[in-house]
Structure 1
Amino acid sequence: MKFVIAVIIFSVVILIHELGHFLLAKKNHIEVLEFSLGMGPRIISTVKGGTRYSVKLFPLGGSCAMAGEDAEDDSPGTFNSAPVWGRIAVVAAGPVFNFLLAFVLSVIIVGCMGYDPATVLEVTQNSAAEKAGLKKGDVITEYQGYHIDLGKDLYVYSYLNELKEGDTIRLKVKRDGKEQEISYKPDVNVRYLLGFNRSDVNSMTVESLIKGMPLEEAGLEAGDVITKINGVEVPDGNAYEKYIEEHPLSKKPVTITYERNGLEYEAEITPREYRTPVSGFGYNTYSEKTSGFNVLKYGAVEVKYMIRTTILSLKELVTGHLGMKDLSGPVGIADAIGDTYEQSKSEGTLMIWMNLLNMAVLLSANLGVMNLLPLPALDGGRLVFLVAEAIRRKPVNRQVEGMIHFAGLMLLMALMVIVMYNDILKIF
């Protein structure tokens, strides 16, 4: 069932993308040779009005094959025979239709569930935030210079702009219909850490060690099992959490007992101080009902959020904050859609539909943005050549353009293989 749902969502998103190319090609009198969903051999095919409509074996893509699209042929009815601005419209239509699909689905979601305003729900008593004048009920409209429309905007920008000690939080909030600015240096939360991650919340098995932290320096390794702290047994995660709550870690050394390959070892370590700035306020992450024009407004805002998040993720990838392991291809996305379906079943039919529609919005907006990247073989790469042609008033050498797009396609295919391999490793 999970696979079927993933295929349906993929197919709809890709079908709408290719439909954009198809409709604008017809509008500009360009002959469409084949309009297909999927890749590989045809399993269903029919010819109508000079166009072959096909469904292919592998539901991992689609195409709108136009006459003369990848050749120097400019005879009537071919892609190159259309005016340059018409060709630009044809190429841009795929991503634009993805954004339109995302908008329509977002309007449905907002109409049913509402939206999540960035409303302050609580302000920590005697905190720097309270002293600066922040109040419960304030609606945050700007954070650190970034415009905020939704609670999830605030989450994303807080995550991407991690506070450091000494930083100043700069907010704009709306209160009683008026906007005002609030700024303050956040309080600092001081904790003492051992420096390890557990394989499970209920387990005391070391999954990984934080480089340069006490346990790593003491020689512990992934797979070791911590059994005691200062002689007190911690058989599971609950016992560990209870011990830390009753005996907060400090600068005082502690004795860690751990097992490795059936043998017991001890290490005396000094917990490391970890200072974290805290904002001093909590904000809304739940949806509030809305109606009328606001449904359209916040439908557009949701699409804006998805597009902006995709662009920010690409920026993180380029700057090295994200790596290849963080990318997902069709296999990983299908798995995520399946997980969303399974996790939503306990919440009822409405939430299943809403969460799956939300995945479709994310996928559609993501596909639109990715296709507009100015890379060879993508719609964005083709647009670069077409815009250059419009400016120069003559086409770029078609043979050179074709070679560049072919090279880009090969690189994209290689990237897809790597990403799919990573997806399979993550799942299995």
Structure 2
Amino acid sequence: MRFVIAVIIFSVVILIHELGHFLLAKKNHIEVLEFSLGMGPRIISTVKGGTRYSVKLFPLGGSCAMAGEDAEDDSPGTFNSAPVWGRIAVVAAGPIFNFLLAFVLSVIIVGCMGYDPATVLEVTQNSAAEKAGLKKGDVITEYQGYHIDLGKDLYVYSYLNELKEGDTIRLKVKRDGKEQEISYKPDVNVRYLLGFNRSDVNSMTVESLIKGMPLEEAGLEAGDVITKINGVEVPDGKAYEKYIEEHPLSKEPVTITYERNGLEYEAEITPREYRTPVSGFGYNTYSEKTSGFNVLKYGAVEVKYMIRTTILSLKELVTGHLGMKDLSGPVGVVDAIGDTYEQSKSEGTLMIWMNLLNMAVLLSANLGVMNLLPLPALDGGRLVFLVAEAIRRKPVNRQVEGMIHFAGLMLLMALMVIVMYNDILKIF
């Protein structure tokens, strides 16, 4: 069932994208040779009004094939015979329809669940945030110069732009209908760590070691089982947490006893200081009900959030903060939708629908943004040539354009193979 639901959502998002191209092509009297859902051989096909409508074997993807679209043909009814602004409208319609779909679905979600204002829920007592004047109930509208509409705006920006010691936190908040500016240096939380990750919270088995931290330097390995700290037995995660609570780690050395292959070893290590800047406040990430015009307003805000998040993620990818392993293709998307469905079943039917619609919004907005990137073979790349034609009042050499798009398509296919391979590795 999870696979079927995932494929349906993915197919609807693709279908709406291609429908945008199709409707604007018809509007501009461009002959559409085939409108299809899926890839590969046809399993269902019919011809009506000169257009073949098909459903193909593999339900991921789709196309709107127009006459003369990839040729130098400009005879009546072909893509190139249409006015340049008509062709721009045809190409741009796909991404625009994705944004429209995202908006309609977001309105449904906001109407049912509400939205999440970035309201300050708590301010740490005696913190730098409190001393700077931040108060419970303030609504954050800007963080580090980044406009905040929703609590998840702040969450995503903070996640992708980690706070560093010495930074200045700059906020704009709305209080009693008035906007105020607040700035302060964050407090620093100082902890001492051993530097290991457990296989689960109840286990003392070392799953992995943090590079450059004490346990790694002492020679421990993944699979070792920590049994004692300073001679005190820690048979499970609960006992370990209790020991750390009663005997907080400091810069004083500790003796770690561990087992490897049935043999017991000891290592004396000095915990490493770990400093974490903290903002000093907590904020809302849960939905509040709204009604009337606000449903439309925050439906649009939700789409804006999805678009900005996609752009921020692309920026992190270009700057190297995210890597190829963080990308997902059709296989990864279908798996993520399936996981969302499975995880939502325990929360009831309404939450299943809301979470799946939210995935559809994310996917549709993401597809719209990605297709508008000015890269060969994508809608954005084609728009670059069409806008150049509109400015120059004559087309760019179509043979050159075709070669550029073909090269872009080959690179895109290579990227898709890599991403699909990564998706499969993640699943298995």
TM-score of the alignment, normalized to the shorter chain, above 0.5? yes
Greater displacement, 295-304 / 241-250: 241-250
Give me the whole-angstrom Cα distance separating, in 1, the residues matched to 2:148 and 2:308.
12
Alpha-carbon deviation of 1:200?
2.1
Q: Does 1:192 align with 2:192?
A: yes
Alpha-carbon deviation of 1:276?
1.1
Give me the whole-angstrom Cα distance separating, in 2, the residues matched to 1:262 and 1:58.
52
Alpha-carbon deviation of 1:330?
1.1
Listed one character per residue, the Cα deviations across residues 8-37 of structure 1 (whole Å, up to 9, x for unaligned) are 100100000000000000011000000000
Q: Does 1:279 align with 2:279?
A: yes
Q: Does 1:387 align with 2:387?
A: yes
Alpha-carbon deviation of 1:266?
1.8
**Structure 1 stretches lacking a partner, 5+ long:** none
Greater displacement, 174-183 / 229-238: 229-238
Give me the whole-angstrom Cα distance separating, in 2, the residues matched to 1:122 and 1:98.
38
Alpha-carbon deviation of 1:198?
2.0
Alpha-carbon deviation of 1:128?
1.1
Local SS of the residue matching 1:54: strand
Q: Please tell me the root mean square deviation across aligned C-alpha atoms, in Å.
A: 1.1
Listed one character per residue, the Cα deviations across residues 199-232 of structure 1 (whole Å, up to 9, x for unaligned) are 2222222222222111121122223222222222
Alpha-carbon deviation of 1:281?
0.8
Alpha-carbon deviation of 1:265?
2.2
Alpha-carbon deviation of 1:275?
1.1
Alpha-carbon deviation of 1:317?
0.7
Listed one character per residue, the Cα deviations across residues 302-354 of structure 1 (whole Å, up to 9, x for unaligned) are 00000000000011111111111111111111111111111111111100000
Q: Which runs of 4+ in 1 moved over 4 A?
A: none
Alpha-carbon deviation of 1:262?
3.1
Listed one character per residue, the Cα deviations across residues 267-289 of structure 1 (whole Å, up to 9, x for unaligned) are 11101111111111111111000
Alpha-carbon deviation of 1:395?
1.2
Give me the whole-angstrom Cα distance separating, in 1, the residues matched to 2:188 and 2:330.
42
Alpha-carbon deviation of 1:239?
2.2
Give me the whole-angstrom Cα distance separating, in 2, the residues matched to 1:363 and 1:229.
48
Give me the whole-angstrom Cα distance separating, in 2, the residues matched to 1:69 and 1:262.
69
Alpha-carbon deviation of 1:402?
1.2
Local SS of the residue matching 2:33: strand
Listed one character per residue, the Cα deviations across residues 369-416 of structure 1 (whole Å, up to 9, x for unaligned) are 111111111111111111111111111111111111111111111111
Aligned to 2:124: 124
Give me the whole-angstrom Cα distance separating, in 1, the residues matched to 2:284 and 2:300.
20
Local SS of the residue matching 1:62: strand
CA 1:262 to 1:398, structure 2 compared with 1: closer, same or farther past 3 Å?
farther
Aligned to 2:332: 332
Listed one character per residue, the Cα deviations across residues 233-258 of structure 1 (whole Å, up to 9, x for unaligned) are 22332222222112111001111222
Give me the whole-angstrom Cα distance separating, in 2, the residues matched to 1:215 and 1:423.
33
**Structure 2 stretches lacking a partner, 5+ long:** none
Superposition pairs of residues 260-279 of structure 1, within 5 angstroms: 260-279=260-279
Local SS of the residue matching 1:172: strand
Local SS of the residue matching 2:13: helix
Greater displacement, 326-335 / 303-312: 326-335
Identical aligned residues as a percent: 99
Give me the whole-angstrom Cα distance separating, in 1, the residues matched to 2:281 and 2:246.
26
Aligned to 2:360: 360
Aligned to 1:140: 140
Greater displacement, 23-32 / 411-420: 411-420
Local SS of the residue matching 2:37: strand
Aligned to 1:408: 408
Give me the whole-angstrom Cα distance separating, in 1, the residues matched to 2:41 and 2:224.
51
Aligned to 2:14: 14
Local SS of the residue matching 1:286: coil
Alpha-carbon deviation of 1:184?
1.1
Listed one character per residue, the Cα deviations across residues 80-120 of structure 1 (whole Å, up to 9, x for unaligned) are 11111111110110000000000000000000000000000
Aligned to 1:47: 47
Give me the whole-angstrom Cα distance separating, in 1, the residues matched to 2:106 and 2:322.
27
Alpha-carbon deviation of 1:179?
0.5
Local SS of the residue matching 2:116: coil
Give me the whole-angstrom Cα distance separating, in 1, the residues matched to 2:276 and 2:218.
24
Aligned to 1:107: 107
Superposition pairs of residues 163-242 of structure 1, within 5 angstroms: 163-242=163-242
Greater displacement, 105-114 / 215-224: 215-224
Greater displacement, 48-57 / 243-252: 243-252
Greater displacement, 232-241 / 173-182: 232-241
Local SS of the residue matching 1:315: helix
Local SS of the residue matching 1:223: coil
Give me the whole-angstrom Cα distance separating, in 1, the residues matched to 2:218 and 2:174.
51
Alpha-carbon deviation of 1:367?
0.4
Give me the whole-angstrom Cα distance separating, in 2, the residues matched to 1:249 and 1:92.
59
TM-score (normalised: structure 2): 0.98
Listed one character per residue, the Cα deviations across residues 280-303 of structure 1 (whole Å, up to 9, x for unaligned) are 111111100000110000000000
Give me the whole-angstrom Cα distance separating, in 2, the residues matched to 1:204 and 1:72.
68
Greater displacement, 272-281 / 234-243: 234-243
Greater displacement, 136-145 / 215-224: 215-224
Alpha-carbon deviation of 1:41?
0.5
TM-score (normalised: structure 1): 0.98
